[in-house]
Amino acid sequence: MPNRLAGKTAIITGAGQGIGEAIARCFADEGAQVVIAEFNPATGEAVAADLRAQGHTAIAIQTDVADSASVDRMAAQVQRELGGANVLVNNAGINVFRDPLHCTDEDWRRCFSVDLDGVWYCCRAVLPQIIERGGGSIVNLASAHASQIIPNCFPYPVAKHGLLGLTRALAVDMAAQGVRVNAISPGYILTQNVIDYWNSFPDPDAEQERTLAMHPGKRIGTPDEVAWTAVFLASDEARFMTGANLQIDGGMSILYHG
Ligand X SMILES: NC(=O)c1ccc[n+]([C@@H]2O[C@H](COP(=O)([O-])OP(=O)(O)OC[C@H]3O[C@@H](n4cnc5c(N)ncnc54)[C@H](O)[C@@H]3O)[C@@H](O)[C@H]2O)c1
Shortest distance, position 177 Cβ to ligand X, whole Å: 25
Regarding 112 and contact with ligand X (CB under 6 A), the answer is: no
Q: Which is nearer to ligand X, 84 or 186 (CB)?
A: 186
Closest CA to 193 of 158, 218, 220: 220
Which segments within the chain are labelled E, that is strand? 9-13, 33-38, 58-62, 87-90, 97-98, 136-141, 154-155, 179-186, 245-248
Regarding 193 and contact with ligand X (CB under 6 A), the answer is: yes
Q: Which is nearer to ligand X, 114 or 158 (CB)?
A: 114
**Cβ neighbours, 10 Å, residue 206:** 11
Which residue in 9, 12, 20, 29 binds ligand X (CB under 6 A)? 20
Angle at 224 between CA 223 and CA 230, to 5 degrees: 95
Which residue in 188, 208, 238, 247 binds ligand X (CB under 6 A)? 188
Shortest distance, position 64 Cβ to ligand X, whole Å: 5
Regarding 14 and contact with ligand X (CB under 6 A), the answer is: yes
Residue 33, C-beta contacts closer than 8 angstroms, at least 6 positions apart = 8, 9, 10, 56, 57, 58, 82
Which residue in 9, 17, 33, 137 binds ligand X (CB under 6 A)? 17
Considering only the stretches 103-111, 166-174, 192-200, 210-218, report the one whose residues sit in contact with ligand X under the rule CB under 6 A. Answer: 192-200
Measured CA to CA, the distance from residue 70 to residue 32 in angstroms comes to 24
Q: Which is nearer to ligand X, 63 or 235 (CB)?
A: 63
Closest CA to 160 of 149, 141, 146: 146
Total number of residues that touch ligand X (CB under 6 A): 30
Q: Which is nearer to ligand X, 218 or 239 (CB)?
A: 218
Q: Which is nearer to ligand X, 136 or 186 (CB)?
A: 186
60 phi and psi, to 5 degrees?
-110, 135
Half-sphere exposure of 6 (CA within 13 A, CB side): 4
* Given 121, 156, 188, 197, the catalytic residue: 156
Which positions from 26 to 65 touch ligand X by CB under 6 A, shown as an x/- string?
A: ------------xxx--x-------------------xxx
Residue 166, C-beta contacts closer than 8 angstroms, at least 6 positions apart = 116, 119, 120, 123, 140
Regarding 92 and contact with ligand X (CB under 6 A), the answer is: yes
256 as an active site residue: the answer is: no
Element (H, E) at 42: helix 41-53
Give catalytic residue positions. 156
Which residues contact ligand X (rule: CB under 6 A)? 13-14, 16-20, 38-40, 43, 63-66, 91-94, 114, 118, 141, 143, 186, 188-189, 191-194
